[in-house]
Structure 1
């Protein structure tokens, strides 16, 4: 019945078990800040990532300060939180949520964040996945 659990995981909106994104012991297990690198490649080189466990997926966006609240409202609808880093212009934002990660969903989210940033006069710089140490 492994395929049955795969389907449940794929179609559950809240499929990730509880993981506090503010835990102090989270470590980066995968990342990519290269627009040309496929998520499958980035996850393939991740040696500490545990695919069956939830991650805190953090996208790093650079946006004009005037666009931050609009972006915050949009991503909140999908369960993301936003934290501004620094106080310059433009601002770097960390847009994060807890989820089960795989290459397909990582690529979809990366593409969504790139489009969102572009529509709001900014850039998607990259992403990081964090998990507790195993």
Structure 2
């Protein structure tokens, strides 16, 4: 499996990691990987993303976002529970909610982390469980990295 580590990644590894964590509000963040197919393994999505443009950079932090459809009255509870693991609500609305989610809203929960297949799969499963417990569904996930490190 490719890690997406090109010359830039190799040079960064020689110099060392950033001392500051990635700011999830940076204007230059772009989606470098996404999966909205329940059957797709995180490893497959990440491998595909390492070869895409912009490429996912395995050694760099990413903003991991989980897209959920939840009953409107359960959003605060989801934020509270996910917040225990460092997630914050990055957006809500009624877009992208499947028809089965009557009275549902779309919710994006995000946190910054170095993304790998194992931890991605764990978080995907955790979010699916959270959504189900609250009467909703996990729609999928994506991750963002700065354009300068993604290109």
Unaligned runs of 5+ in 1: 1-15
Show the counterpart of 2:87. 80
Show the counterpart of 1:13. none
Encode CA deviations 1:9-29: one digit per residue, 9 max, x unaligned: xxxxxxx95111111110111
- State the Cα distance separating 1:85 from its structure 2 match: 2.4
Length-normalised TM-score, structure 1: 0.84
Counterpart of 1:108 (choices 112, 116, 122) is: 122
| Deviant stretches of 4+, over 3 Å | none
Q: What aligned pairs does 1:45-124 form with structure 2 within 5 A after superposition?
A: 45-46=48-49, 47=52, 48-86=55-93, 89-124=103-138
Specify the structure having the higher radius of gyration (Cα): 2
Q: 1:65 to 1:84 in 2, by over 3 A?
A: farther
**CA–CA distance in 2 between the matches of 1:87 and 1:70?**
18
Supply the RMSD in Å over aligned alpha carbons: 1.5
Number of residue pairs the alignment of both structures matches: 119
Counterpart of 1:30 (choices 26, 33, 36) is: 33
Unaligned runs of 5+ in 2: 1-18, 96-102
Length-normalised TM-score, structure 2: 0.75
